Amino acid sequence: MSVILHIETATPVCSCALSENGQIIFNRQNREGLSHAVLLGVFVDEAIAFARTQQKKIEAIAVSSGPGSYTGLRIGVSEAKGLSYGFGIPLIAIPTPLIMAQMMIDTADAQTLLCPMIDARRMEVFATVYDHSLETIRATTAEIITPDSFSDLLAEHRILFFGNGSDKCKNTITHANALFADNIYPLAIAMIPLAEKAFDANDFVDVAYFEPHYLKEFVATVPKNKVIEV
Protein backbone atom coordinates (compact mmCIF):
# COMPACT_ATOMS: atom_id res chain seq x y z
CA MET A 1 0.00 0.00 0.00
CA SER A 2 1.33 3.45 -0.91
CA VAL A 3 0.73 6.56 1.16
CA ILE A 4 2.06 9.68 -0.59
CA LEU A 5 2.17 13.31 0.51
CA HIS A 6 1.67 15.73 -2.41
CA ILE A 7 2.80 19.38 -2.51
CA GLU A 8 1.87 21.94 -5.19
CA THR A 9 3.03 25.59 -4.98
CA ALA A 10 3.90 26.60 -8.56
CA THR A 11 1.15 29.23 -8.95
CA PRO A 12 -0.84 31.51 -6.60
CA VAL A 13 -2.74 28.44 -5.35
CA CYS A 14 -1.09 26.55 -2.48
CA SER A 15 -2.21 22.96 -1.95
CA CYS A 16 -1.26 19.80 -0.11
CA ALA A 17 -2.85 16.35 -0.24
CA LEU A 18 -2.39 12.88 1.15
CA SER A 19 -3.31 9.78 -0.82
CA GLU A 20 -3.49 6.08 -0.09
CA ASN A 21 -3.42 3.65 -3.00
CA GLY A 22 -4.45 6.42 -5.37
CA GLN A 23 -7.36 7.69 -3.25
CA ILE A 24 -7.55 11.09 -1.55
CA ILE A 25 -7.57 10.83 2.23
CA PHE A 26 -6.56 14.42 3.09
CA ASN A 27 -6.72 17.67 1.12
CA ARG A 28 -5.98 21.33 1.85
CA GLN A 29 -5.80 24.21 -0.59
CA ASN A 30 -5.84 27.99 -0.57
CA ARG A 31 -6.67 30.13 -3.61
CA GLU A 32 -6.33 33.55 -2.02
CA GLY A 33 -2.85 34.45 -3.24
CA LEU A 34 0.83 34.00 -2.64
CA SER A 35 0.90 33.01 1.05
CA HIS A 36 2.80 29.79 0.48
CA ALA A 37 5.54 30.56 3.00
CA VAL A 38 2.92 30.69 5.76
CA LEU A 39 0.34 28.18 4.57
CA LEU A 40 2.37 25.27 3.26
CA GLY A 41 3.96 24.42 6.58
CA VAL A 42 0.55 24.46 8.24
CA PHE A 43 -0.99 22.21 5.57
CA VAL A 44 1.92 19.75 5.78
CA ASP A 45 1.77 19.61 9.57
CA GLU A 46 -1.96 18.89 9.36
CA ALA A 47 -1.38 16.14 6.80
CA ILE A 48 1.31 14.48 8.92
CA ALA A 49 -0.86 14.72 12.03
CA PHE A 50 -3.76 13.15 10.11
CA ALA A 51 -1.55 10.30 8.91
CA ARG A 52 -0.41 9.62 12.46
CA THR A 53 -3.92 9.59 13.89
CA GLN A 54 -4.92 7.13 11.16
CA GLN A 55 -1.78 5.04 11.82
CA LYS A 56 -0.61 5.48 8.23
CA LYS A 57 3.06 5.69 7.32
CA ILE A 58 3.94 8.18 4.59
CA GLU A 59 6.06 6.34 2.02
CA ALA A 60 6.98 9.10 -0.45
CA ILE A 61 6.80 12.84 -1.05
CA ALA A 62 5.59 14.17 -4.42
CA VAL A 63 6.22 17.76 -5.45
CA SER A 64 5.25 19.91 -8.41
CA SER A 65 8.56 20.63 -10.16
CA GLY A 66 7.71 23.64 -12.33
CA PRO A 67 7.92 25.77 -14.26
CA GLY A 68 6.00 28.45 -12.43
CA SER A 69 6.50 31.03 -9.72
CA TYR A 70 10.17 31.12 -8.72
CA THR A 71 9.34 31.80 -5.07
CA GLY A 72 6.47 29.32 -4.95
CA LEU A 73 8.55 26.53 -6.46
CA ARG A 74 11.44 27.25 -4.13
CA ILE A 75 9.16 27.04 -1.09
CA GLY A 76 7.45 23.84 -2.23
CA VAL A 77 10.60 22.01 -3.28
CA SER A 78 12.49 23.04 -0.13
CA GLU A 79 9.66 21.68 2.01
CA ALA A 80 9.46 18.45 -0.01
CA LYS A 81 13.22 17.86 0.11
CA GLY A 82 13.30 18.48 3.85
CA LEU A 83 10.48 15.99 4.43
CA SER A 84 12.03 13.39 2.14
CA TYR A 85 15.40 13.67 3.86
CA GLY A 86 13.93 13.84 7.35
CA PHE A 87 11.67 10.82 6.96
CA GLY A 88 14.16 8.91 4.81
CA ILE A 89 11.61 8.35 2.04
CA PRO A 90 11.80 8.88 -1.76
CA LEU A 91 11.07 12.14 -3.56
CA ILE A 92 8.89 12.22 -6.69
CA ALA A 93 9.01 15.25 -9.01
CA ILE A 94 6.09 15.90 -11.35
CA PRO A 95 6.14 18.63 -14.03
CA THR A 96 3.56 21.30 -13.26
CA PRO A 97 2.11 21.37 -16.83
CA LEU A 98 1.55 17.61 -16.64
CA ILE A 99 -0.42 18.06 -13.42
CA MET A 100 -2.59 20.65 -15.15
CA ALA A 101 -3.12 18.43 -18.19
CA GLN A 102 -4.12 15.55 -15.90
CA MET A 103 -6.87 17.79 -14.53
CA MET A 104 -8.35 18.39 -18.00
CA ILE A 105 -8.31 15.00 -19.75
CA ASP A 106 -11.96 14.39 -18.86
CA THR A 107 -12.96 17.85 -20.14
CA ALA A 108 -11.79 17.59 -23.74
CA ASP A 109 -12.48 14.91 -26.34
CA ALA A 110 -9.75 12.52 -27.45
CA GLN A 111 -8.90 14.55 -30.56
CA THR A 112 -8.36 17.85 -28.73
CA LEU A 113 -4.84 18.75 -27.66
CA LEU A 114 -4.23 20.13 -24.18
CA CYS A 115 -2.10 23.23 -23.65
CA PRO A 116 -1.51 24.26 -20.03
CA MET A 117 -0.18 27.81 -19.79
CA ILE A 118 1.48 29.32 -16.74
CA ASP A 119 1.86 33.07 -16.50
CA ALA A 120 5.43 34.26 -17.05
CA ARG A 121 4.66 38.01 -16.99
CA ARG A 122 3.77 40.43 -19.78
CA MET A 123 2.76 38.46 -22.90
CA GLU A 124 4.98 35.51 -22.07
CA VAL A 125 3.78 32.14 -20.82
CA PHE A 126 5.26 28.75 -20.01
CA ALA A 127 3.39 26.46 -22.39
CA THR A 128 3.33 22.73 -23.10
CA VAL A 129 1.18 20.76 -25.53
CA TYR A 130 -0.04 17.23 -24.73
CA ASP A 131 -2.34 14.80 -26.47
CA HIS A 132 -5.20 13.06 -24.70
CA SER A 133 -2.86 10.29 -23.51
CA LEU A 134 -0.63 12.93 -21.88
CA GLU A 135 2.12 12.31 -24.39
CA THR A 136 4.14 15.46 -25.06
CA ILE A 137 3.44 17.00 -28.48
CA ARG A 138 5.44 20.17 -27.82
CA ALA A 139 7.88 20.42 -24.93
CA THR A 140 7.63 23.17 -22.34
CA THR A 141 8.96 26.50 -23.54
CA ALA A 142 8.69 30.16 -22.59
CA GLU A 143 6.45 31.57 -25.34
CA ILE A 144 5.84 35.20 -26.22
CA ILE A 145 2.26 35.08 -27.43
CA THR A 146 1.42 36.54 -30.85
CA PRO A 147 -1.52 35.98 -33.23
CA ASP A 148 0.56 33.28 -34.94
CA SER A 149 1.35 31.31 -31.80
CA PHE A 150 0.55 27.58 -32.19
CA SER A 151 -0.74 28.25 -35.72
CA ASP A 152 0.89 25.08 -37.07
CA LEU A 153 -0.94 22.88 -34.55
CA LEU A 154 -4.19 24.86 -34.70
CA ALA A 155 -4.34 24.30 -38.46
CA GLU A 156 -4.92 20.60 -37.83
CA HIS A 157 -6.18 20.27 -34.24
CA ARG A 158 -8.45 21.84 -31.70
CA ILE A 159 -6.38 22.98 -28.75
CA LEU A 160 -7.74 23.62 -25.26
CA PHE A 161 -5.73 26.39 -23.59
CA PHE A 162 -5.98 26.73 -19.81
CA GLY A 163 -4.10 27.96 -16.77
CA ASN A 164 -3.41 31.48 -15.49
CA GLY A 165 -1.29 32.18 -18.56
CA SER A 166 -4.14 31.49 -20.96
CA ASP A 167 -6.29 34.34 -19.67
CA LYS A 168 -4.16 36.95 -21.42
CA CYS A 169 -4.12 34.99 -24.69
CA LYS A 170 -7.82 34.96 -25.49
CA ASN A 171 -7.76 38.20 -27.46
CA THR A 172 -4.54 37.26 -29.28
CA ILE A 173 -5.02 33.61 -30.23
CA THR A 174 -8.29 33.83 -32.13
CA HIS A 175 -8.11 30.78 -34.38
CA ALA A 176 -11.40 28.88 -34.69
CA ASN A 177 -9.75 25.76 -33.24
CA ALA A 178 -8.57 27.59 -30.10
CA LEU A 179 -10.65 26.77 -27.01
CA PHE A 180 -10.19 28.26 -23.55
CA ALA A 181 -11.04 27.09 -20.02
CA ASP A 182 -11.01 29.57 -17.15
CA ASN A 183 -9.72 29.40 -13.57
CA ILE A 184 -7.60 26.27 -13.92
CA TYR A 185 -4.70 26.01 -11.48
CA PRO A 186 -2.53 22.98 -10.67
CA LEU A 187 -3.67 21.22 -7.49
CA ALA A 188 -2.06 18.62 -5.27
CA ILE A 189 -5.01 16.24 -5.67
CA ALA A 190 -4.34 16.09 -9.44
CA MET A 191 -0.84 14.80 -8.71
CA ILE A 192 -2.15 11.55 -7.21
CA PRO A 193 -2.40 9.30 -10.32
CA LEU A 194 0.88 10.68 -11.68
CA ALA A 195 2.70 10.14 -8.38
CA GLU A 196 1.27 6.63 -8.01
CA LYS A 197 2.60 5.74 -11.45
CA ALA A 198 6.04 7.12 -10.57
CA PHE A 199 6.04 5.34 -7.20
CA ASP A 200 5.22 1.97 -8.79
CA ALA A 201 8.01 2.50 -11.33
CA ASN A 202 10.53 3.61 -8.65
CA ASP A 203 10.85 6.85 -10.60
CA PHE A 204 12.44 9.02 -7.91
CA VAL A 205 14.80 12.02 -7.97
CA ASP A 206 17.96 12.57 -5.98
CA VAL A 207 17.01 14.58 -2.90
CA ALA A 208 20.44 16.19 -2.60
CA TYR A 209 20.68 17.46 -6.17
CA PHE A 210 17.11 17.99 -7.36
CA GLU A 211 16.14 21.55 -8.30
CA PRO A 212 12.85 22.91 -9.68
CA HIS A 213 12.46 23.44 -13.41
CA TYR A 214 12.47 27.24 -13.31
CA LEU A 215 12.95 27.42 -17.11
CA LYS A 216 14.08 31.06 -16.83
CA GLU A 217 16.57 32.69 -14.48
CA PHE A 218 15.08 34.63 -11.61
CA VAL A 219 15.47 38.39 -12.06
CA ALA A 220 15.05 40.49 -8.93
CA THR A 221 13.38 43.85 -9.32
CA VAL A 222 13.20 46.85 -7.01
CA PRO A 223 9.64 47.90 -6.09
CA LYS A 224 8.89 51.38 -7.36
CA ASN A 225 8.07 52.65 -3.88
CA LYS A 226 11.52 51.51 -2.73
CA VAL A 227 13.45 53.56 -5.28
CA ILE A 228 15.16 56.58 -3.76
CA GLU A 229 15.74 59.42 -6.20
CA VAL A 230 18.88 61.52 -5.76
Using pLDDT thresholds of 50, 70 and 90, give the confidence band for residue 217: low
- Using only C-alpha atoms, the chain has a radius of gyration, in whole angstroms, of 18
Across-strand partners of 24? 19
Across-strand partners of 216? none
CATH 3.30.420.40 fits 3-96+186-225, yes or no: yes
The CATH code that applies to domain 98-181 is: 3.30.420.40
Nearest alpha-carbon partner for 13 in 38, 32, 37, 27:
32
- Percentage of residues in the chain having pLDDT higher than 90: 88
Per residue in 160-214, pLDDT (tens digit) is 999 999 998 999 999 999 999 999 999 999 999 999 999 999 999 999 999 999 9
Q: Coil, strand, or helix at residue 167?
A: helix
- Any residues with CB less than 8 A from the CB of 148 and at least 6 apart, and which? none
Q: What is the pLDDT of residue 1?
A: 62
What does the domain layout of the chain look like in residue ranges? 3-96+186-225, 98-181
Domain 98-181 in the same topology as domain 3-96+186-225 = yes
> pTM of the prediction?
0.92
Containing 79, the helix (H) or strand (E) segment is: helix 70-87
Per residue in 131-145, pLDDT (tens digit) is 999 999 999 999 999
Per residue in 60-107, pLDDT (tens digit) is 999 999 999 999 999 999 999 999 999 999 999 999 999 999 999 999
Phi, psi of 95 (to 5 degrees): -55, 135
Average the pLDDT over 109-130 and give the result: 95
Nearest alpha-carbon partner for 189 in 66, 99, 91, 107:
99
Q: What is the DSSP letter of 190?
A: G
